[in-house]
């Protein structure tokens, strides 16, 4: 047995239950009385607000503007793109009535049937592109670069907080272009923005690639993805960017007069990241004491923990805390102030609340510290017992570097884990052995790079046999395939594919 941990069970004992406990004890979210719909609590929502602000800045810098479109999509409109509606048909919440009426026993029941059922948006391509068809008339109106922050509903049967919920929050970008090349360039640009955001803000290393045909977004010509690897060796799709070709432009009638005077169908894209990222961040960085938050995205950076004894020293201690808070709040950390929490509750064990919440830095302040003008600093990424004494002025001078150090160490640790759990496999026996063996304990195997003949049947078989899917065809690794053979069939290879079990 190791040391006692703040979270029970540990990752090794039961990774799935560890995750639920981290979410709960980190005070991030909880289930509601509506099946599959979560409540995002203030600490969890604070994370999302920071994610929103960061991504929103990136989108605005690249010329995108925010707008808002209806939550409902009429059934007939949703049905206009056949592949699209089929892809979402099994998970659509449908509004059929518009009021309540009293019936037997004075009980309320739905009344006022709608002429046409309304789908609660599972994604907004249809309702947004319908508007775009009105907005776009000429090549001068292009590119049209729109983003929406919204809630969407997908009636998933098995849900898990953040990772898969019936309602979730996201941004969905929708753009219109005059040519296929420009639309593809936008699709790739957005993938790069997601990579930048994940790696440099969430400290989550990614593998960029394209989805195989069977894993594409319903109605897309091409889906790009950023794939991440969790500590248990399972993959998490963290963001997707779709080149939609002219499929939605044709379904919605987005036509424009081009420079040459001809009327043409436009080319569209869509791309999204969601509150699922919070789940990914938890699983990538969390430890057996709970959450570990990357400083650049944490809702607060430092908690001050005054050690109060109910004596006259207490006032001086709290005064010192206020001074620290004010001084640190004036320091800019990647576009936000340093955010300081002061926890002056008179209870035992409050330090451990903050450990479980993953706050990057804890500072304990007692009478001794006040007398010496010092603080006792603890990092969430160090052992709970490790502490460093430094003067307040040193803390102020060093805090940005200390936080950046934590941010970088999280990224490096995650990257090392990803590299150590990425294997190349060249034949079917090894492939099956690897993913069969790995379903024990914490590790679900990790990433496997293997050549593939491009056949959906082969893909389907390993999914049925091993619950393993192609996460993506990594970009920049598709050269020199001509002389390679498929690891699973021995036939000529068409792609290098990244395989894994996945959330």
List of residues contacting its own copies (CB under 8 A): 30, 32-34, 37-42, 45-46, 48-49, 65-75, 77-79, 85, 89-101, 107-110, 112, 117-120, 127, 130-131, 134, 140, 146, 150-151, 153, 155, 167, 169, 345
In contact, 211 and 420? CB cutoff 8 Å:
no
In this structure, how many other beta carbons lie within 10 angstroms of the beta carbon of residue 344?
13
As measured in angstroms, the least distance from the Cβ of 71 to its own copies is 6
Query: What span, in angstroms and rounded, lies between the C-alpha atoms of 290 and 20?
Result: 10
Secondary structure (DSSP) of 361-421: EEEEE-HHHHHHTEEEEEETTS-TT--EEEEHHHHHHHHHHHHHHHHHHHHHHHHHHHHHT
As measured in angstroms, the least distance from the Cβ of 122 to its own copies is 11
Between 21 and 453, CB nearer to its own copies:
21
Between 43 and 434, CB nearer to its own copies:
43
| Chain CA centroid to CA 497, Å | 22
Between 92 and 328, CB nearer to its own copies:
92
Between 150 and 230, CB nearer to its own copies:
150
Instruction: Quickly list H helices, 421-454.
Output: 428-437
Beta bridge partner(s), residue 198 = none
Between 66 and 436, CB nearer to its own copies:
66
Indicate the Cα dihedral angle 226, 231, 232, 238, nearest 10°: -20
Helices 276-285 & 42-61, crossing angle to 10 degrees?
A: 110
In contact, 165 and 156? CB cutoff 8 Å:
yes
- DSSP helix/strand/coil, 222: strand
As measured in angstroms, the least distance from the Cβ of 43 to its own copies is 9
Between 9 and 117, CB nearer to its own copies:
117
Residues sharing a CB contact under 8 Å with residue 248, sequence separation 6 or more, in sequence order: 81, 84, 125, 126, 129, 219, 254, 268
Per residue in 313-340, is it b (16+ CB within 10 Å) or e — as a string?
Answer: bbeebbebbeebbebbeeeebeeeebbb
Between 178 and 448, CB nearer to its own copies:
178
Cα angle 233, 238, 240; round to 5 = 135
As measured in angstroms, the least distance from the Cβ of 110 to its own copies is 4
Count Cα neighbours of 148 within 13 Å in the Cβ-side half-sphere: 19
In this structure, how many other beta carbons lie within 10 angstroms of the beta carbon of residue 397?
12
Secondary structure (DSSP) of 317-329: HHHHHHHHHHHHH
Between 18 and 88, CB nearer to its own copies:
88
Query: What span, in angstroms and rounded, lies between the C-alpha atoms of 101 and 416?
Result: 60
Q: Which two tokens stand for residue 425?
A: 């496999």
Between 155 and 265, CB nearer to its own copies:
155
Residues sharing a CB contact under 8 Å with residue 369, sequence separation 6 or more, in sequence order: 317, 320, 375, 376
As measured in angstroms, the least distance from the Cβ of 381 to its own copies is 26
As measured in angstroms, the least distance from the Cβ of 4 to its own copies is 26
CA dihedral sign, ordered 25, 31, 37, 41: negative
Between 67 and 433, CB nearer to its own copies:
67
Between 1 and 347, CB nearer to its own copies:
347
As measured in angstroms, the least distance from the Cβ of 264 to its own copies is 21
Between 147 and 418, CB nearer to its own copies:
147
As measured in angstroms, the least distance from the Cβ of 332 to its own copies is 14
Query: Which of 461, 449, 460 is CA-nearest to residue 486?
Result: 449
As measured in angstroms, the least distance from the Cβ of 386 to its own copies is 31
As measured in angstroms, the least distance from the Cβ of 325 to its own copies is 15
As measured in angstroms, the least distance from the Cβ of 364 to its own copies is 21
As measured in angstroms, the least distance from the Cβ of 356 to its own copies is 17
């Amino acid at each position: 047995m190791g040391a006692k941990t703040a979270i029970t069970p540990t990752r090794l004992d039961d990774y799935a239950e560890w995750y639920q406990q981290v979410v709960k004890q980190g005070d991030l979210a909880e289930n509601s009385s509506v099946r599959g719909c979560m409540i995002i609590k203030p600490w969890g929502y604070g994370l999302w607000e920071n994610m929103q602000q960061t991504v929103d800045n990136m989108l605005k810098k690249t010329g995108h503007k925010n707008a808002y479109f209806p939550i409902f999509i009429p059934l007939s409109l949703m049905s206009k793109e056949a592949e699209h509606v089929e892809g979402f048909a099994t998970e659509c919440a449908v509004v059929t009535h518009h009021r309540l009426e009293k019936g037997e026993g004075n009980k309320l029941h739905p009344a006022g049937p709608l002429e046409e059922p309304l789908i609660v948006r599972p994604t907004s391509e249809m309702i947004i592109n319908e508007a775009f068809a009105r907005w776009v008339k000429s090549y001068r109106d292009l590119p049209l670069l729109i983003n929406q922050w919204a809630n969407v509903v997908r009636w998933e049967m098995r849900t898990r907080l953040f990772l898969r919920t019936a309602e979730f929050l996201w941004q969905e970008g929708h753009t219109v272009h005059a040519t296929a090349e420009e639309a593809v360039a936008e699709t790739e640009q957005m993938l790069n923005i997601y990579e930048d955001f994940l790696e440099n803000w969430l400290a989550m290393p990614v593998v960029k690639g394209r989805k195989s045909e069977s894993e594409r977004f319903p109605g897309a010509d091409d889906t790009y993805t950023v794939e991440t690897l969790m500590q248990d060796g399972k993959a998490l799709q963290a963001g997707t960017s779709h080149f939609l070709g002219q499929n939605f432009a044709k379904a919605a009638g987005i036509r424009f007069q081009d420079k040459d005077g001809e009327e043409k169908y436009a080319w569209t894209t869509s791309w999204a990241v969601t509150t699922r990222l919070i789940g990914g961040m938890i699983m990538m960085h969390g430890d057996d004491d709970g959450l570990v938050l990357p400083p650049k995205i944490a809702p607060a950076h430092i908690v001050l923990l005054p050690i109060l004894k109910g004596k006259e020293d207490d006032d001086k201690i709290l005064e010192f805390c206020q001074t620290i808070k004010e001084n640190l709040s004036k320091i800019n950390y990647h576009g936000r102030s340093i955010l300081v929490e002061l926890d002056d509750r008179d209870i035992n064990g409050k330090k451990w609340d903050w450990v479980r919440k993953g706050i990057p830095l804890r500072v304990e302040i007692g009478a001794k510290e006040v007398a010496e003008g010092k603080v006792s600093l603890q990092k969430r990424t160090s052992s709970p017992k490790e502490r460093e004494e430094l003067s307040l002025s040193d803390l102020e001078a060093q805090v940005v570097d200390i936080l950046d150090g934590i941010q970088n160490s999280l990224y490096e640790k995650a990257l090392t884990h990803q590299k150590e759990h990425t294997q190349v496999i060249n034949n079917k026996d090894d492939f099956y052995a690897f993913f069969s063996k790995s379903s024990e304990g914490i590790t679900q195997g990790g990433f496997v790079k293997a050549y593939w003949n491009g056949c959906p049947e082969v893909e389907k078989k390993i999914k049925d046999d091993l619950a393993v899917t192609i996460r993506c065809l990594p970009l920049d690794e598709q050269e020199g395939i001509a002389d390679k053979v498929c690891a699973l069939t021995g036939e000529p290879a068409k792609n290098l594919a990244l395989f894994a079990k996945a959330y």
